[in-house]
Structure 1
């Protein structure tokens, strides 16, 4: 008598792989090499969040979509006007030629979160942006869109072409990070914002603006029809929070976010090569954020509101992607924090959300 090889029920095996994929998304490509059924289970996890800053990924998806489009066009040309198509038209229902390929359908139904960058003036910027907007148009009602260096008036070529998001985009969650003083290009009356429930606006400008500089935002925010959660960088928060608290009673959470500009490339290379320098940099950043948040917290004592939460992490986009992949994003922690204040589990005047690193 020999012992049989131990096996797991298929449902349990799938659950284990999916749990591992959520916790360790970078390992998904390795999981996909295990066997065919694992590939079937986990491929959707791989494309659940698309980082369109990855040129290789963008080019690979674009090549596949072009291949499918050519296949469909070839199939249509072979069937239209042929004897077979005329015969089937008389004696049976017509042959239906697909309008989109399986890969296109897969991306439309699978992808829920996209992060991309509005290109500046650089080589091949126009072509790259055309590819990105084609991917965005696959699902205009995408759940979440995150755009780095957003500007509605960015010029990417000497001819003066302006690169904008597709006009049909209607995301539910939207994050816009715009460079320095380009905050004036954000027009909250555009249809892009019409379905947004969670809005994040990130300004990397070092110089704080007076409240008058944000007047158009303070007027537009209360008019957004679906908005219930707002996150803005601290320089914006200082100017608009007093107005937003009274003008936007439908808001359930208002986050003031502390971060700093991404490190210059030469510093990033040093940090990557030196764990000690990376740890020192992280501690310095956390301490600086904590000092600034404490000052803002004292200011909030004059206008207490349980909806206000102060948050800081070293790299917003790294935290955003980890949260999007795991389903444990910033808003999950923010809403739990506010709920605990409303239940009296923590002091209602506690505003700083500190979850440690990584906090999502």
Structure 2
């Protein structure tokens, strides 16, 4: 009696598919191994390989240790450009583009309609982010103001890209137009920024952005309450958090993998302030 082929299913195909897809979803790092089990398993598991996609670019630092994903070492992005757009369309939910090139941006962003979480560092002076892709589920966006609106006179937070957005993390500086437009993002509950001057606009934002629950100043140096008594009300508002976040891409990656990132840490801090476990600043 011969040894059964590993390519012959021992379970009903629907149940077997559900088992392997659950394994791939719960542990994305196991996907390359799962793909070696059988051809049918490769077809089921491969889309989960791209659920979190990180492109670092030529000579950029890479993530090390647990959590490395397959395209971090594709400096020429050849494999990305050779991947059928249908794979991205079906799979990618979390995307980090750190110094990617225009052909790669167009190839991926045009196919990622179900993207939920985007980190992008790029000079969009000629090609605004909002004109490149039109996701239907985008909830978290990390980018620069220049990437969103290269022309400060054309700030438009009514664009469909912001329809379902709940988390917005802005790199670099805020413009007056950008600050004034934020209340138009009706579903915005979480806002983060690193522009020290923008802290002085937070009291107004907390009044005008009705849904805001978390505002994070990703600081390099904290703003001391003693030096700015005009911000007394802000120090007493539990929704405002000053937080250092040095390795931002690694933090984004862990958030996509586990749900634990600077957003969740800020939420925990706010809960402790509201419960009295952490005292309000004097």
> TM above 0.5, one fold?
yes
In structure 2, the CA distance between the partners of 1:326 and 1:116, relative to structure 1 (3 Å rule), is same
Whether 2:186 is the aligned partner of 1:225: answer yes
> Corresponding residue for 2:166?
197
- Cα offset for 1:240? 2.0
> Corresponding residue for 1:353?
none
In structure 2, the CA distance between the partners of 1:314 and 1:346, relative to structure 1 (3 Å rule), is same
How many matched pairs?
241
The two structures, once aligned, show a CA RMSD in angstroms of 3.8
Of residues 204, 229, 235, the one that matches 1:243 is 204
Aligned mates of 2:223, 2:258 — CA distance in 1: 30
Aligned mates of 1:189, 1:179 — CA distance in 2: 14
Q: Pick the structure with more helix per residue.
A: 1
* 1:202–1:233 contact (8 Å) kept in structure 2: yes
Whether 2:250 is the aligned partner of 1:324: answer no
> Corresponding residue for 2:132?
166
> Corresponding residue for 2:61?
none
TM-score normalized by the length of structure 1: 0.55
Could you give the per-residue CA deviations for residues 43-67 of structure 1, whole angstroms, max 9, x where no partner exists? 44421111234555843233232xx
Max Rg structure? 1
- Secondary structure of 1:293's counterpart equals coil
Aligned mates of 1:172, 1:347 — CA distance in 2: 31
Could you give the per-residue CA deviations for residues 71-103 of structure 1, whole angstroms, max 9, x where no partner exists? xxxxxxxxxxxxxxxxxxxxxxxxxxxxxxxx7
- Cα offset for 1:173? 1.3
> Corresponding residue for 1:129?
102
Aligned mates of 1:112, 1:40 — CA distance in 2: 18
Q: Which runs of 5+ in 2 are unaligned?
A: 1-15, 58-73
> Corresponding residue for 1:255?
216
In structure 2, the CA distance between the partners of 1:14 and 1:139, relative to structure 1 (3 Å rule), is closer
Aligned mates of 1:346, 1:228 — CA distance in 2: 22
In structure 2, the CA distance between the partners of 1:298 and 1:317, relative to structure 1 (3 Å rule), is farther
- Secondary structure of 2:171's counterpart equals strand
Q: Which runs of 5+ in 1 are unaligned?
A: 1-9, 66-102, 120-127, 155-161, 206-212, 259-288, 351-360
TM-score normalized by the length of structure 2: 0.68
